[in-house]
Structure 1
Amino acid sequence: MTEAFRQLGSPAPGGIVCAADHASNRVPDDISLGIPTHLLEDHIAVDIGTEAIAERLARDHAVPAHIAAVSRLVCDFNREEDAPGLVPDTSDGHPIPGNVGASREERLNRFHRPYHSALGEWLEQAQPALVLSLHSFTPRLASREEARPWQVGVLYNTDDRAARIAIPLLAAEGLNVGDNLPYSGRDLNYTMNRHAEAHGRPYLGIEIRQDLAQSPEDHARWAALLANIAQRVASALR
């Protein structure tokens, strides 16, 4: 593996695989972001809960996972190569002074390109029935006033095949489900645009509210639920 990602499990043809773009808050020793240490535990640095859920999906539910191994503040894998937020100099109102003047090309070559090249090869070899894109969102942004009541969101861009199946299944579990909320996959969907939509692969973009993904019990519950939903979606798509 490289410092950009790690992979758990081996994908099988016609199976389900998970990609977790923002699962890590790691900052390499040779990179200084210039931010207080406590912010590395905040949503601006990591999608809280997703690493543990992805690990449980791979370990307990036979859903192999491609997991980011560096913080989104170092390099955001779910951004186009020319997107301003790829190496953010601010996030939710917090300045990231260490990224001001940082070499975008160096971050691309060191992190972004290896992450996506490996994910692309993995999916091409496996040809899975469904790609599960796993993210989480904060209940409230510091830079905005409105609360986010959804417990889980389903995101998509132009291919909503899996989303249309998954949304009522999640709602039937008693969840408040956001349909392309808390933000739209039409605006922010790079990894799935590149590795799923561009190849006609069905995908399920999931956003879990972070206050519901805090404990090991939460992680186990979400992993079991998502494995079940993903399998039902994949079966319905066949």
Structure 2
Amino acid sequence: MSGIRQPWNLLGEPRCGGILLIGDHASNHVPEDIDLGIDRHLLDEHIAIDIGVADVARHMVNSTAVDAAWLAAQSRLVVDLNRDEHAPGLIPIASDGHAIPGNALSHDQHVARLDRFYRPYHRGLADLLSQARPALILSLHSFTPALATSDEARPWQVGVLYNQDDRAARIAIPLLEAEGLCVGDQLPYSGKLLNYTMNVHAEGNGIPYLGIEMRQDTATGSGAQALWAERLGRICNTVTLKLAI
């Protein structure tokens, strides 16, 4: 579509053998021509964006802790880029108890949404990786301390997710614990279930990756975000070095 911006933002300069950060849910942007039918304040909540990810990514790129960051340029409520193309909830009609009436799409509208955002995002990422294959991918997400639709406690300050390839996870978990953090191994979600982008672009290409979920109340505010950036930068560097041995 003419005049439509690309569905990602690229910060920094990708480098062969470097570290690439990917943030599938880094934005709460909704294009003006899409009406989700929800209150505007919900776009600042966890249902619309992984709070803290974009700012931590900028800190990491600016400090050269990672070479580049590939960040989604629209909200997960427009389309969830970390789900299989045929998965339920790809274009959610509800999220954590909130209806998303504007996502009740016809088949043609559904396909058009994928053609505009989802497919170009993944094609673009595939092209980037083919041109500048990193030594490590940091897949960065964040999770809410509590869900409105669940009473389950979420005590973990950080979660580490993976599917078949746990090389980086096994190195990173004890490093995160040594930081004094309560670490969830495959918590609060399992990478066996929610790992689409890494399944395709990392595991599918044999690239080691570290899937990190920061609890959002630990990644709010510039000081906390700078701390996460510094911490993850050190850990990613150590993981990369150990993987190379």
The alignment's TM-score, normalised by the length of structure 2, stands at 0.95
Q: Which moved more, 1:113-122 or 1:137-146?
A: 113-122
1:61-140 alignment, distance < 5 Å: 61-63=64-66, 64-102=68-106, 103-140=109-146
Q: Which moved more, 1:59-68 or 1:32-41?
A: 59-68
SS in structure 1 of the partner of residue 171 of structure 2: helix
SS in structure 1 of the partner of residue 140 of structure 2: strand
Show CA shifts across 1:65-97 (max 9, x none).
001110000011001111121100000111000
The alignment's TM-score, normalised by the length of structure 1, stands at 0.98
Task: Quote how far apart the aligned CAs of 1:4 are.
Answer: 0.8
1:215-230 alignment, distance < 5 Å: 215-230=221-236
Q: Out of 30, 35, 42, which is 2:33 matched to?
A: 30
SS in structure 1 of the partner of residue 227 of structure 2: helix
SS in structure 2 of the partner of residue 84 of structure 1: coil
Tell me if structure 2 keeps the 8 A contact 1:19–1:132: yes
> Unmatched 5+ residue regions in structure 2?
none
- Give yes or no for the alignment of 1:175 onto 2:181: yes
Q: Out of 44, 47, 51, which is 1:48 matched to?
A: 51
Task: Quote how far apart the aligned CAs of 1:125 are.
Answer: 1.1
Q: Which residue of 1 aligns with 2:15?
A: 12
- Give yes or no for the alignment of 1:237 onto 2:220: no
- 1:235, 1:58 → 2: CA distance? 19
Task: Quote how far apart the aligned CAs of 1:98 are.
Answer: 0.4
- 2:200, 2:62 → 1: CA distance? 26
Letter in 1 for 2:9: R
Letter in 2 for 1:7: L
Letter in 1 for 2:63: D
Task: Quote how far apart the aligned CAs of 1:11 are.
Answer: 1.3
Q: Out of 196, 200, 203, which is 1:194 matched to?
A: 200
SS in structure 1 of the partner of residue 137 of structure 2: strand
CA RMSD of aligned residues (A): 1.1
Number of positions where the alignment pairs a residue of Structure 1 with one of Structure 2: 238
Task: Quote how far apart the aligned CAs of 1:62 are.
Answer: 4.5
Share of identical aligned residues, percent? 60
Tell me if structure 2 keeps the 8 A contact 1:61–1:224: no
1:140-155 alignment, distance < 5 Å: 140-155=146-161
- 2:130, 2:136 → 1: CA distance? 13
